[in-house]
């Protein structure tokens, strides 16, 4: 299977991207097509012993920067690594595209070049969210593709999220909840109330509202929300986790007595770090696009890149696109 990788996307591209791509080719036996500025990517590749590895390079002269306006940049830069990479998927020369670049750009480029799956009104950015389910996480969407949503979008997010959870995460009959301001039925803003009617009428395994404190508790496998709230959720989770860890560290270093304790407790802290680390999961699938696109965190390191490429391969292997297409037909009138 051939995966196209945006060599220019991410805060430390192309260095860490090439590093991660080499790892993916070596460890996972995946065929990788690096897309980017030939000279700089080639120079990075030469740092590694890539003899015999299924790694190729396709030139793209332009780069969509992290701070550019997504839609404008995608339209202006037809030879950007992001657009060229999407086109490889469109022409079926690659099975999937992975980028750790500008996520708005990835969304715009995928909409322009690959388009939406027939029947899907809006694509959604989704992510693994650490929680106390048996598998150790829930699947959350939308986390930022659509700041303003309609009930039909959220129903479709639930369908897409269920398809992904079943196919890639291996969760049978995934429990779907809608994020709300209260767990009781009837709580919610108008969007939640209207979506609830649609979710109840569907054949999805809808379990009701999930309020903020329940999100890490794993009461549902798929958590559906609008892209505004979803974005606040993932970034706040990151912020609070950092705040608590910093505070514990600060308290430990400011106390003579517990300094030793801090050192001895370090392995536990590290384990917690691993369990809440986005790098373990590698990326956010962009669901609803007619092609497999995974968007990595801009801060991704080589390991996150490698895992993101693996996620792209798993999404292809497990037929997520087909499952979404079937789901849209099955669950909707």
The footprint of a copy of itself (CB under 8 A) covers: 67, 130-132, 144, 147-148, 179-182, 184, 187-190, 192, 211-217, 226-229, 231-245, 247-248, 251-252, 255, 257-258, 260-269, 271-272, 275-276
We find the least distance from the C-beta atom of residue 202 to a copy of itself, in angstroms, to be 23
C-beta of 131 vs 156, nearer to a copy of itself: 131
We find the least distance from the C-beta atom of residue 295 to a copy of itself, in angstroms, to be 15
Dist. CA 96–CA 311, nearest whole Å: 10
Give the number of other CB atoms < 10 A from CB of residue 31: 17
Give the number of other CB atoms < 10 A from CB of residue 183: 15
We find the least distance from the C-beta atom of residue 123 to a copy of itself, in angstroms, to be 16
Dist. CA 297–CA 288, nearest whole Å: 20
We find the least distance from the C-beta atom of residue 211 to a copy of itself, in angstroms, to be 5
Angle, helices 227-253/256-275, rounded to nearest 10 degrees? 150
C-beta of 28 vs 248, nearer to a copy of itself: 248
| Residues 294 and 282: beta-carbon distance below 8 Å | yes
C-beta of 202 vs 231, nearer to a copy of itself: 231
We find the least distance from the C-beta atom of residue 225 to a copy of itself, in angstroms, to be 8
Task: Tally the C-alpha atoms within 13 A of residue 107's C-alpha that lie toward its C-beta.
Answer: 19
We find the least distance from the C-beta atom of residue 148 to a copy of itself, in angstroms, to be 5
We find the least distance from the C-beta atom of residue 313 to a copy of itself, in angstroms, to be 29
C-beta of 281 vs 331, nearer to a copy of itself: 281
Residues 6+ apart with CB under 8 A from 286: 106, 107, 110, 123, 124, 125, 126, 145, 293, 294, 295
Dist. CA 132–CA 134, nearest whole Å: 6
C-beta of 43 vs 260, nearer to a copy of itself: 260
Pairing of strands 137-141, 124-130: antiparallel
Tokens coding 12: 């430390």
SS3 assignment for 309-332: HHHHHHHHHCCHHHHHHHHHHHHC
C-beta of 47 vs 255, nearer to a copy of itself: 255
C-beta of 54 vs 212, nearer to a copy of itself: 212
Dist. CA 102–CA 297, nearest whole Å: 9
């Amino acid at each position: 299977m051939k995966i196209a990788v945006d060599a220019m996307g991410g805060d430390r591209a192309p260095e860490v991207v090439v590093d991660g791509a080499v790892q993916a080719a070596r460890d996972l036996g995946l065929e990788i097509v690096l897309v980017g500025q030939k000279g700089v990517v080639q120079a990075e590749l030469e740092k590694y012993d890539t003899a015999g590895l299924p790694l190729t390079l396709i030139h793209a002269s332009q780069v969509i920067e992290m701070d550019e306006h997504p839609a404008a940049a995608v339209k202006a830069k037809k030879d950007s690594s992001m657009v060229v990479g999407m086109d490889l998927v469109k022409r079926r020369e690659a099975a999937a595209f992975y980028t750790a670049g500008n996520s708005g750009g990835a969304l715009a480029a995928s909409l322009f070049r690959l388009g939406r799956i027939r029947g899907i009104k809006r694509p959604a950015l989704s992510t693994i969210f650490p929680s106390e389910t048996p598998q150790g996480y829930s699947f959350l969407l939308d986390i930022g593709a659509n700041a303003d949503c309609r009930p039909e979008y959220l129903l479709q997010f639930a369908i897409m999220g269920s398809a992904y959870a079943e196919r890639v995460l291996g969760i049978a009959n995934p429990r779907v909840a809608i994020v709300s301001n209260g767990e009781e039925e009837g709580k919610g803003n108008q969007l939640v109330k209207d979506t609830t009617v649609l979710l109840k009428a569907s054949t999805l395994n809808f379990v009701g509202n999930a309020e903020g404190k329940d999100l890490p508790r794993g009461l549902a496998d798929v958590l559906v929300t609008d892209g505004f709230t979803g974005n606040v959720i993932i970034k706040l989770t990151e912020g609070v986790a950092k705040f608590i860890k910093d505070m514990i560290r600060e308290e430990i270093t400011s106390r003579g007595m517990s300094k030793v304790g801090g050192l001895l407790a370090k392995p536990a802290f590290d384990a917690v770090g691993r369990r809440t680390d986005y790098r373990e999961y590698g990326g956010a699938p962009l669901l609803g696009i007619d092609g497999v696109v995974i968007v990595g965190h801009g801060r991704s390191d080589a390991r996150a890149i490698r895992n993101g490429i693996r996620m792209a391969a798993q999404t292809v292997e497990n037929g997520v696109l087909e499952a979404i297409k079937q789901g849209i037909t099955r669950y909707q009138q």
